[in-house]
Amino acid sequence: MPVAFLIHGRKKEKVHSKFFDFVSSVLNRKCVPFVTDREPGLSNAIEKNFPNCDIIMCWNHLIGNAKFNLQKMGADQTNITFYLSNIRELLRCESDEEFKEKKQLLIVKWSKPFVTYFNKIEKDILYHCGKWIISKYDNLYDPFSGVTNNPCEIFS
């Protein structure tokens, strides 16, 4: 459930920091999960104002970015479907250990360009997107979509 909204002209960390200064002053809980779209300025501002809170990243944005990058690499629809399915399979792992084991099985089927791309997003999955992170919070993980910030996106 969204708690607060920020209408801004630029995706700058300074703007987000001011916003979270305010939110932290009125929020009566010290630790809540924040669901974001993987925008660095937003994540950095949350980390500064809520250092003990989890930043959880939206699966829709992660998958959308992967699809965009696969298209840029020239992947056809069959390969795009294959790689996105592999990402979803990794996101749905029950633990980081299961993730690492499953990744070792999948990576041998991946192209070198996709391995390079995946290495860039792996940290986000391990620390901000995996089911094992999201499941710590009641009613946040959805078996179909994982986690999304779509309730907020309708306003942007």
pLDDT tens track for 41-66:
778 888 887 888 888 888 988 999 99
Task: Note whether residue 85 is domain-resident.
Answer: yes
**Strand, coil or helix: 142:** strand
pLDDT at 152: 44
Residue count (the chain): 156
36 falls within a domain: no
Assigned domain for 40 exists: no
Quick: pLDDT tens for 122-132. 999 999 999 99
- Residue span of the structural domain in which 101 resides: 59-132
Structural domains in the chain (count): 1
Share of the chain above pLDDT 70, in %: 78
- Indicate whether 145 pLDDT > 80: no
Overall pTM > 0.85 = no
